[in-house]
Structure 1
């Protein structure tokens, strides 16, 4: 799977070019599925927020409203009640999965419960475009600062698809606690490679090779 791990979606031309390069086709020719699940696990989530993500009415986090050839909705909490032979083809046929933010551990739980996590290794040409928690879910752990919803395991482990952690929304004006100094303290707890990224930055991962795509600022800790 090809990963484009963003803090706030396809925020600038550099991130959009990276997305198009990963898909190998223009957005207008690409099929997408959006996954809103993570938003329901967050205390800041709401039905209105989920609708804005799905409908492309969230200008601060551009994802679904970019002019896709087709757009579908994949709700992970519904998948355990369905036969895999019904929904797996939907995922395999998509060029990109657009994954909303919210609570990373809640998203991690439903990715495992739904079976999507087990499917990921076989999706070699599919692009995973994550937004905030939709990016953090790919990491080994998220750190105690970001634990909201309590996982059955009781810890902060996520999928571990990549070997680094992510601190999103650095220096966001509406998140005064998300400073680079706070990210440094968070990274000390992670005790492994960890990126702090602002909303103008994304982390691209293809075949284990990491590239930073940024029109803003970021920092790597514990390299």
Structure 2
């Protein structure tokens, strides 16, 4: 799987060009599915208006509204109740999965429960575009600061498809988001190397090769 791990979506020309490169074709020729599931588990997002805004491309985070050939919704909480042949072929033929932010452990839980996590290794040509928690779920560890919801098992692990962690929404002191001081304090509490990235930055990962794509600010934290 090819990963484009963003903090705020496809927010600038550099990130959009990286997406097109990963797709290997124009966005207008690519089929997409959006995954809103993470939003339901976060107390400040939740179900309702914010989920509709993401699905309809009105969230202010450019992902669904980029001009795709087709757009569908893949709701992970529904998948365990339907036959696999009703959704797995759809995922396999889709070019890109657009994954909303929200609560990272809630998203991870439903990726595992739905079977999507098990399917990911076989999706070698599919592009995963994460937004905040949709990016963090691919890391090995998110840290206590980003945990809002826990599964009944208490498991706070994430998928570990990459070997670094992410602090999204890096922002100058006094502005909404995470300050560099907060990011550094968070990084000191986790075991993995990490990146603090702002909403104008993304991390591209292909076959283990990591590249930061940015028109903003970021820092690698160890």
The secondary structure found in structure 2 opposite 1:22 is helix
Equivalent position of 2:182 in the other structure:
182
Alignment of 1:105-184 (within 5 A): 105-171=105-171, 173-175=175-177, 178-184=178-184
RMSD: 0.9
Quote how far apart the aligned CAs of 1:150 are.
Answer: 1.3
Per-residue Cα deviation, 1:45-99 (whole angstroms, up to 9, x for no partner) = 141000010000122x111011100000000000000111110011001100000
- Tell me the equivalent position of 1:43: 43
How many angstroms apart in 2 are the aligned matches of 1:193 and 1:131?
Answer: 20
Unaligned runs of 5+ in 2: none
May I ask how many residue pairs the two structures share in their alignment?
219
Separation of aligned partners in 1, 2:151 and 2:143: 13
* Displacement of 1:156: 2.6
Q: CA deviation at 1:152?
A: 2.9
Tell me how far 1:153 sits from its aligned partner. Answer: 3.4
Q: Distance in 2 between matches of 1:213 and 1:152?
A: 37
SS of match in other structure, 1:3: strand
TM-score of the two chains, using structure 1 as the length reference = 0.96
Deviation of residue 151 (structure 1)?
2.4
CA contact (8 A) 2:140 2:192 kept: no
1-structure distance, mates of 2:53, 2:7: 17
Query: Could you say what secondary structure the match of 1:68 adopts?
Result: coil
Q: Secondary structure at the match of 1:213?
A: strand
Question: Is there any run of 5+ residues in structure 1 with no aligned partner, and where?
Answer: none
Separation of aligned partners in 2, 1:17 and 1:153 = 41
- Where in structure 2 are the equivalents of 1:1-223 lying within 5 Å? 1-46=1-46, 47-59=48-60, 61-171=61-171, 173-175=175-177, 178-222=178-222
Counterparts of 1:151 and 1:199, CA distance in 2: 28
Distance in 2, matches of 1:81 and 1:58, equals 28
Query: What is the Cα deviation at residue 155 of structure 1?
Result: 4.2
What is the rounded CA distance, in whole Å, between the counterparts of 1:198 and 1:105 in structure 2?
21
